[in-house]
Amino acid sequence: GPDDPSQNAQAPALRDSPFLRACRREPVPHTPVWFMRQAGRSLPEYLRLREGVPMLESCTRPDMIVEITLQPVRRYAVDAAIFFSDIMVPLKAIGVDLDIKPGVGPVIADPIRDEAGLGAVRPLEPDDVSYVTEAVRGLAGELGATPLIGFAGGPFTLASYLVEGGPSKNHDRTKAMMYGAPRLWDALMGRLADLTIAFLKVQVAAGASAVQVFDSWVGAVSPQDYRESVLPHTSRIFAEVAGLGVPRIHFGVGTGELLGLMGEAGADVVGVDWRVPLDEAVRRVEPGKALQGNLDPSILFAPWETVERRARDVLARGRTAEGHVFNLGHGVLPSTDPDVLARLADLVHEASTE
């Protein structure tokens, strides 16, 4: 039934889609491609739909979620859809007082700085996000053989927003807690890992066929601190999600020195930003992993000849990996020309079959 997370229920065309095959490190007819933040950025049809609707409200309306998730799939020959939501949605759903302010990002009314603040992060029940279940079910039906990627925030990144109270450059209060109050830090990270596990389970139960953990800002910590203060929590997330039988992707920005440890944390696919060439990433990540990435999103503002040359270079280096999912090294930048993304998706398909 629709709540059965076992992949036995998956249609053969979906199970054998190039994206899911590449995640499993199986041979593919062409290199699969999707773009982080492909939904809800620059598309005019998105901006029209969102007019007058606050970000977090749009994430609670199944009709909007379905439409926004499908928009890039209609425009681009992408091999996967990513669920339209935000990493802050599960926090909002459990009652954390937060808003997503246009041009700023997530803002928390009462940042967590002590033991008493921990109580705000209670366990997530599926009923708290029934709109997510409804939207994923609708999408799984509409998408057919195109996989839907569910996602959640990684614990360091969620902790950073909660402790800082909003976007942060240096994550200094977050690190102050990590260094100065390790028991409080572990308790907070444990609760956030539980939240991420619960949110990913809801999405897979409703029909998502892969999951990505966006620990976007974890590149702020050293390998030693990652191993001591983050890895135990991300390992638990990937171990808990393993039983669902869908590929697990792990991504962060500026994580060149952490790639090996991020692989150790247990995902099937390690996301690589644009700073580390993929053939070098292959050397840093343990065997038995696929890689995802990693064209610099800024290259899309260069002349097409440059975009093509750099995309071909990413594909060539990606061939040294056991499996490669083509992506940007971070999200689509808001002023990116959708036509360039469309051309890029086609190029990845053509060039990888040459």
Positions marked active-site: 37, 41, 50, 86, 161
Q: Least distance to ligand 1CP from the beta carbon of 157, Å?
A: 6
Q: Which of 82, 208, 290, 321 is close enough to bind ligand 1CP by CB under 6 A?
A: 82
CB distance 153 to 87 below 8 Å: yes
| Residue 211: strand pairing partners | 150, 248
Stretch of 19-27, 97-105, 116-124, 295-303 contacting ligand 1CP, by CB under 6 A: 97-105
31-50 residues near ligand 1CP, rule: CB under 6 A: 37-41
* Residue 161, annotated as binding a ligand: yes
Nearer to ligand 1CP, 25 or 215 (CB): 215
- In SS3 terms, 133-185 reads as HHHHHHHHHHHCCCCEEEEEECHHHHHHHHHHCCCCCCCHHHHHHHHHCHHHH
# of chain residues touching ligand 1CP (CB under 6 A): 21
Does residue 151 interact with ligand 1CP by CB under 6 A?
yes
Does residue 216 interact with ligand 1CP by CB under 6 A?
yes
Q: Least distance to ligand 1CP from the beta carbon of 41, Å?
A: 6
Does residue 192 interact with ligand 1CP by CB under 6 A?
no
Does residue 147 interact with ligand 1CP by CB under 6 A?
no
Query: Each residue of 60-81: b (16+ CB within 10 Å) or e?
Result: bebebbbbbbbbbbebbebbbb
Task: Please enumerate in sequence order all residues whose Cβ is within 8 A of that of 289, keeping only pairs 6 or more positions apart, or say none.
Answer: 263, 267, 268, 269, 270, 322, 323
Task: Please enumerate in sequence order all residues whose Cβ is within 8 A of that of 67, keeping only pairs 6 or more positions apart, or say none.
Answer: 49
* Residue 284, annotated as binding a ligand: no
CB distance 21 to 322 below 8 Å: no
* Residue 46, annotated as binding a ligand: no
C-alpha–C-alpha distance, residues 298 and 330, integer Å: 10
* Residue 41, annotated as binding a ligand: yes
Does residue 146 interact with ligand 1CP by CB under 6 A?
no
Stretch of 14-22, 77-85, 224-232, 286-294 contacting ligand 1CP, by CB under 6 A: 77-85
303-332 residues near ligand 1CP, rule: CB under 6 A: 331
Does residue 111 interact with ligand 1CP by CB under 6 A?
no
Does residue 105 interact with ligand 1CP by CB under 6 A?
yes
Q: Which of 32, 90, 106, 263 is close enough to bind ligand 1CP by CB under 6 A?
A: 106
The contacts found for 255-263 with CB under 8 angstroms, 24 or more apart, are 255/218, 255/219, 256/219, 256/284, 257/222, 257/223, 258/218, 258/219, 258/221, 258/223, 258/226, 259/284, 259/285, 260/284, 260/285, 260/286, 261/223, 261/226, 261/227, 261/231, 262/234, 263/289
Q: Least distance to ligand 1CP from the beta carbon of 71, Å?
A: 10
* Residues at the contact surface with ligand 1CP, assessed by CB under 6 A: 37-41, 55, 82, 84-87, 100, 102, 105-106, 151, 157, 167, 214, 216, 331
> Annotated binding residues for substrate, as ranges?
37-41, 86, 161, 216, 330
